[in-house]
């Protein structure tokens, strides 16, 4: 199963430390332990708090974490029955030094530009017998909204074509219309997360997105309920990483 989809309803979430107050409040109202990310000072400001930039869940119990911020998460996630592994690649200011852990997942496959993937992360993905799908898009997780075990939403045409050719239920949307501070726009994967196997979380509303109804219909077709975390427009907060921890 995809580690970005918790086995049971999540009870812990990792969310950008600079996400809006309403988002934090909504997550807490879902009976979740909310763990805010620490700022990664070594990457550029727009993505400095994004969990999917510094953390990748290899499986439901194992997180590979960038060495830049490893000590913070080692302390913060103590007692949650998780295995934390320090990655090898230290993140840097400019692309591609920002993408080593931003690996997309669907089914038993990992999607990334594997030329730049952290070697420790690749080792543990291989141990899990995960198949590698190599693409040019380095911000693969940012670009990939996970809609159940076999569904994805993306604005990246090559990713869409590749996953569709592999038999995944895929929806291509227009790029843009997702807020990301300091950038022209953000990505749909970074604006979403999975609360459970049948509920998807959105950082904000889709009313200003030109593909609003296509997205809603696609999710309903995939038997997913939608939970909006704020009344603001949808924004890229670096994915919501949901966990079910003992």
pTM: 0.97
Q: What is the mean pLDDT of residues 130-134?
A: 98
Closest by CA to 43, choosing from 175, 183, 194, is: 183
CA distances from 28 to 10, 137, 209, 244 (A): 12, 33, 26, 15
Q: Are 144 and 189 in contact (CB under 8 A)?
A: yes
Q: How many residues does the chain have?
A: 246
Q: What is the mean pLDDT of residues 25-43?
A: 98
Outline where DSSP puts E strands in the chain. Answer: 12-15, 33-36, 55-59, 62-65, 83-86, 104-106, 109-112, 131-134, 145-146, 151-154, 169-172, 192-196, 199-202, 225-228, 241-243
Domains of the chain listed by start with CATH number:
12-243 (3.75.10.10)
Adjacency order of strands within the sheet including 33-36: 33-36, 12-15, 241-243
Residues 160-212 pLDDT 10s = 999 999 999 999 999 999 999 999 999 999 999 999 999 999 999 999 999 99
Q: What are the tokens at 185? A: 């726009």
**Is the pLDDT at 1 greater than 90, yes or no?**
no
Q: To 5 degrees, how large is the angle CA 153–CA 7–CA 236? A: 35
Q: Strand 199-202 vs strand 192-196: parallel, antiparallel, or unpaired? A: antiparallel
Residue corresponding to tokens 């490893």: 70
Q: What is the mean pLDDT of residues 135-145?
A: 97
Residues 67-78 pLDDT 10s = 999 999 999 999
């Amino acid at each position: 199963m995809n580690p970005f989809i918790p086995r049971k309803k999540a009870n812990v979430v990792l969310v950008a430390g600079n996400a809006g107050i309403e988002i934090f409040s909504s997550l807490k109202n879902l009976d979740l332990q909310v763990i805010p990310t620490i700022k990664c000072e070594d990457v550029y400001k727009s993505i400095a708090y994004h969990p999917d930039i510094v953390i990748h869940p290899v499986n439901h119990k194992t997180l590979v974490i960038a060495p830049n911020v490893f000590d913070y998460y080692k302390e913060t996630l103590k007692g949650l029955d998780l295995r934390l592994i320090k990655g090898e690649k230290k993140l840097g200011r400019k692309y591609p030094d920002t993408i080593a852990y931003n690996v997309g997942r669907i089914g038993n496959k990992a999607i990334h530009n594997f030329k730049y993937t952290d070697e420790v992360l690749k080792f543990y993905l291989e141990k899990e017998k995960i198949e590698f799908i190599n693409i040019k898009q380095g911000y693969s997780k940012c670009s990939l909204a996970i809609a159940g075990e076999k569904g994805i939403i993306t604005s990246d045409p090559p990713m869409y074509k590749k996953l569709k050719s592999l038999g995944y239920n895929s929806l291509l949307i227009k790029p843009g219309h997702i807020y990301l501070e300091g950038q022209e726009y953000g990505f749909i994967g970074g604006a979403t997360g999975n609360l459970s196997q049948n509920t998807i979380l959105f950082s904000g509303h889709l009313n200003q997105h030109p593909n609003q109804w296509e997205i809603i219909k696609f999710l309903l077709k995939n038997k997913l309920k939608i939970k909006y975390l704020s009344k603001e427009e949808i924004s890229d907060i670096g994915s919501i990483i949901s966990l079910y921890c003992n």
